[in-house]
Amino acid sequence: MSCLFCRIIKGEIPSFKIYESSKVYAFLDINPLAEGHTLVIPKFHAAKMHEVPDEYLAEIMPAARKIALALGATPDDTFQYNILQNNGTLAHQVVQHVHYHIIPKPNEEAGLGVGWPQTPTDFDALKKTHEKLAAKIESLSK
């Protein structure tokens, strides 16, 4: 098995473990965007999120929540952070094992910078998109 993150799960490559359960493993990112930048990964090899079984995905966000709390999250704005998960090289994915970034945003410069190139649309275009997607998801849920 040559996958880097599978090898990290197995302990063949060292990592700074933050959290572990039977389904997920979390560790510090080697090149953090900010102090505490952590990766949560399923203990199931898949490159993309839609290939991961639900029982693994179901443990990702509870783990991310614990990590956010450990990093200092409180009900106010004192600690701010982004959760990021890239699928595909065009979408900035480098490591081909699903991973969720938990990235503290301590100030304008550190942490994740986000481009948000919104395009104004109209009601009819949204309605068409909704029809397509709603029909498709209905067929997937059966």
Residues that bind ligand 5GP (CB under 6 A): 4, 15, 27-31, 86, 92-95
Nearer residue to ligand 5GP within complex by CB, 29 or 59: 29
* Residue 73 · residue 81 · CB < 8 Å: yes
Active site residue 130: no
DSSP characters over 60-119 = HHHHHHHHHHHHT--SSSSS-EEEE---STTTT--SSS--EEEEE--SSSSS--------
Instruction: Please give the Cα distance from 127 to 141 (Å, whole number).
Output: 21
Min CB(100)–ligand 5GP separation in Å: 9
Indicate whether 99 belongs to the interface with Zn ion (CB under 5 A). no
Nearer residue to ligand 5GP within complex by CB, 16 or 127: 16
Indicate whether 45 belongs to the interface with Zn ion (CB under 5 A). yes
Q: Which residues are catalytic?
A: 99
